[in-house]
């Protein structure tokens, strides 16, 4: 099982280690050991019985394959570092995982950062229609010169959508 994936999904679903243990049908101490092992070796895979893995996936309402695969799909370390640098330059979000979690939860600062870095059209491909729908809520987090540009694009988008 990929521990980085488990950690991100459990943070998104606001599950504690106790919750994870209950869902998987293992002890709290076992889950604690998983996280300790993962902290000491971030690239580690955890061996978990198929029964427990199946229970955990079912309890989290995800596929077993989702727990086995890493979430990151960057081709190389350099592209990952470039994206991290552009999104996390001011440490508003401590890690890329924290940024993605904030984005999924609808954090306006995260959405504005995505638009600021990738542009409104590419951000809409990444984050979906809420990029356009919530523009008035996050536009004040954009740099003023970019905000004016995106306000014009937003008006055009509204007119033709």
Evaluate if residue 24 carries a pLDDT over 80.
Answer: yes
**Which pLDDT does position 45 carry in this prediction?**
79
Helix (H) or strand (E) holding 17: helix 17-24
pLDDT at 145: 87
pLDDT of residue 14: 86
Q: For the residues 146-150, what does the mean pLDDT come to?
A: 92
Structure tokens at 73: 């799909």
Residue 74 has pLDDT above 60, yes or no: no
CA gap 159, 101 in Å, rounded: 32
Please compute the mean of the pLDDT values over residues 63-91 and round it to a whole number: 80
- Domain positions in the chain are 3-68, 77-160
Superfamily of domain 3-68: lambda repressor-like DNA-binding domains (1.10.260.40)
Query: Average pLDDT over the chain, rounded to whole?
Result: 88
User: Is residue 41 scored above 90 in pLDDT?
Assistant: no
> In this predicted model, what pLDDT tens digit does every residue of 82-136 receive, in sequence order?
888 999 989 999 988 899 899 989 999 999 999 999 999 999 998 999 999 999 9
Report the run of H or E that residue 118 belongs to, with start and end: helix 108-118
State yes or no: pLDDT of 54 exceeds 60. Answer: yes
Residue 62 main-chain phi, psi, to 5 deg: -135, 170
Confidence at residue 76, expressed as pLDDT on a 0 to 100 scale: 63
């Amino acid at each position: 099982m990929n521990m980085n994936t488990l950690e991100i999904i459990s943070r998104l679903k606001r599950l504690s280690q106790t919750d994870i243990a209950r869902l998987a049908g293992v002890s709290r101490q076992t889950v604690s050991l998983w996280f300790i092992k993962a902290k000491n070796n971030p690239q580690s895979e955890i061996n978990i019985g198929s029964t427990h893995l199946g229970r955990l996936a079912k309890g989290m309402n995800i596929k077993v394959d989702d727990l086995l695969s890493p979430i990151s799909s960057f081709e190389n370390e350099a592209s990952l570092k470039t994206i991290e640098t552009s999104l996390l330059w001011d440490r508003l979000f401590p890690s890329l995982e924290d940024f993605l979690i904030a984005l999924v939860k609808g954090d306006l600062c995260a959405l504005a950062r995505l638009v600021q870095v990738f542009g409104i059209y590419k951000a809409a491909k990444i984050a979906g229609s809420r990029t356009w729908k919530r523009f008035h809520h996050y536009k004040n987090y954009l740099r003023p010169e970019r905000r004016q540009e995106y306000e014009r694009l937003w008006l055009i988008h509204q007119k033709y959508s």
